[in-house]
Amino acid sequence: MLAYVGLSPLESAMGTLTVITGASVIQARKDGYVIPTFVKEVNKEGKYEGAYVGEPERGFQQDVVSFDANSLYPSTMITLNLSPETKIGTIVEKDDTHVVVKHVNGKVFKLTHEKFLKFVKADKVAITKAKALFIQKNKGIIPKIVDKLYAQRVEFRKAMDKSRRELSKMKKSDPEYRNKKLESETFWVKQYTVKILINSIYGYFGNKYAPLGDSDIARSITLTGQAVIKQSNKILFDYVKNLTNNENLRMEDVVKYNDTDSSYISIKTINNHLNKTLCDDTGKVSQHTYDVVQGIEDHLNTEITKWAKSSLNSHDPRFVFKRECIADVGMFLEKKRYVLHVLDDEGIQVNKFKYTGVEVVRTTIPEPVKPYIKKIIETMLLTRNLGETNKLLNETYDIFKSLSVEDIAFAMGCKEYDKYASRCSEFNTCKGMPIHVKASYIHNKILEKMNLVNKYELIGTGDKVRYLYVQQPNRYGVNAIGYKYYYPEEFKEVFKVDRELMFDKIVYSIIERFYDSVKWKAKKPGMAVQTDLFDLLAV
How much is the pTM?
A: 0.86
pLDDT at 39: 59
Identify the three-state secondary structure at position 69.
strand
Percent with pLDDT over 70 in the chain: 95
Q: Read out DSSP for 371-403? A: HHHHHHHHHHHHH--HHHHHHHHHHHHHHHHHS
Q: What share of the chain is helix, strand, coil (3-state, %, to 5)?
A: 45, 20, 35
- The pairs formed by 339-348 with CB atoms below 8 angstroms and a separation of 24 or more are 339/377, 339/381, 340/64, 341/378, 341/381, 341/382, 343/278, 343/279, 343/284, 343/285, 344/285, 346/322
Query: Distance (Å, rounded) from C-alpha 118 to C-alpha 100?
Result: 14
Strands 337-345 and 321-334: antiparallel
> Start-end ranges of CATH 3.40.1820.10 in the chain?
380-539
The answer to whether residue 106 scores a pLDDT higher than 50 is yes
Q: Is the pLDDT of residue 44 over 70?
A: no
Mean of the pLDDT values across residues 113-131?
Answer: 94
Average pLDDT over residues 39-58: 71
Asked if residue 409 has pLDDT above 90, the reply is yes
Of residues 161 and 313, the one with the higher pLDDT is: 313
Provide the pLDDT confidence category of residue 47 given band limits of 50, 70 and 90: low
Taking residues 225-252, report their average pLDDT. 95
- What is the rounded CA–CA span in Å between residue 338 and residue 140? 39
pLDDT above 50 (res 539)? no
SS3 454: coil
Mean pLDDT of the chain: 91
210 confidence band (pLDDT: 50, 70, 90): confident
Segment 11-25, tens digit of pLDDT: 888 888 889 999 999
Residue 111, Cβ density class (10 Å: 0-12 exposed, 13-18 middle, ≥19 buried): middle
User: What confidence score (pLDDT) does residue 530 get?
Assistant: 47
Alpha-carbon gap, residue 318 to 301, rounded angstroms: 10
At 457, the amino acid letter reads E
208 versus 491: the higher-pLDDT residue is 491
Q: Report yes or no: 82 and 143 within 8 Å, Cβ to Cβ.
A: yes
Ramachandran category for residue 138: left, alpha or beta (phi over 0 → left; psi -120 to 50 → alpha): beta
Q: Beta strands 132-135 and 108-112: pairing type? A: unpaired
Residues 226-240, mean pLDDT to the nearest whole number: 96
Q: Which of 353, 355, 363, 357 is nearest to 336 (CA)?
A: 357
477 alpha carbon, distance to own chain's centre: 41
* Average pLDDT of the segment spanning 5-13: 88
Question: Please, which pLDDT band fits residue 322 given cuts at 50, 70 and 90?
Answer: very high
* Residue 303, pLDDT above cutoff 90: yes
Is the pLDDT assigned to residue 528 strictly greater than 50?
no
Q: Which residues contact 62 (CB under 8 A, 6 or more apart)?
A: 266, 268, 278, 328, 329
Distance between CA atoms of residues 197 and 507, nearest Å: 39
Higher pLDDT, 54 or 262: 262
Weakest mean pLDDT among 163-167, 390-394, 451-455: 163-167
**Fold adopted by 380-539:** Ribonuclease H-like motif (3.40.1820)
Tens-place pLDDT, residues 146-157? 999 999 999 998
Kindly state the average pLDDT of the residues 298-303.
98
Q: How far is CA 47 from each of CA 133, 336, 416, rounded to the nearest angstrom?
A: 21, 21, 27
d(CA 511, CA 331): 12
The band of 42, judged by pLDDT with boundaries at 50, 70 and 90, is low
**Over 70: is that where the pLDDT of 43 sits?**
no
Task: Taking residues 289-314, report their average pLDDT.
Answer: 97
Burial class (CB in 10 A: 0-12, 13-18, 19+), 216: buried
Mean pLDDT over 273-289 rounds to 95
Region 135-140: what's the mean pLDDT? 95
Q: Which of 231, 259, 205 is nearest to 84 (CA)?
A: 205
Average pLDDT over residues 219-234: 95
406: exposed, middle or buried (C-beta count within 10 Å: 0-12, 13-18, 19+)? middle
What is the rounded average pLDDT of the residues 37-52? 63
Is the predicted pLDDT of residue 456 greater than 70, yes or no? yes
pLDDT at position 37, please?
A: 67
Tell me what pLDDT residue 230 has. Answer: 95
Q: pLDDT at position 329, please? A: 97
Question: Mean pLDDT lowest for which of 67-81, 163-177, 261-275?
Answer: 163-177
- In Å, how far are 6, 74, 318, 449 from 199, measured between CA atoms? 15, 7, 15, 53
Angle 177-206/141-168 helices, nearest 10 degrees? Answer: 160
Instruction: Name the DSSP class of 359.
Output: G
Q: What is the pLDDT of residue 35?
A: 82
Q: Which residues of 413-441 are buried (b: 16+ CB within 10 A; e: fewer)?
A: ebeebeebbeebeeeebeeebeebbbbbb
> What is the rounded CA–CA span in Å between residue 86 and residue 223?
18
Q: What percentage of the chain reaches a pLDDT higher than 90?
A: 78
Would you give the distance in Å from CA 503 to the centre of its chain?
28
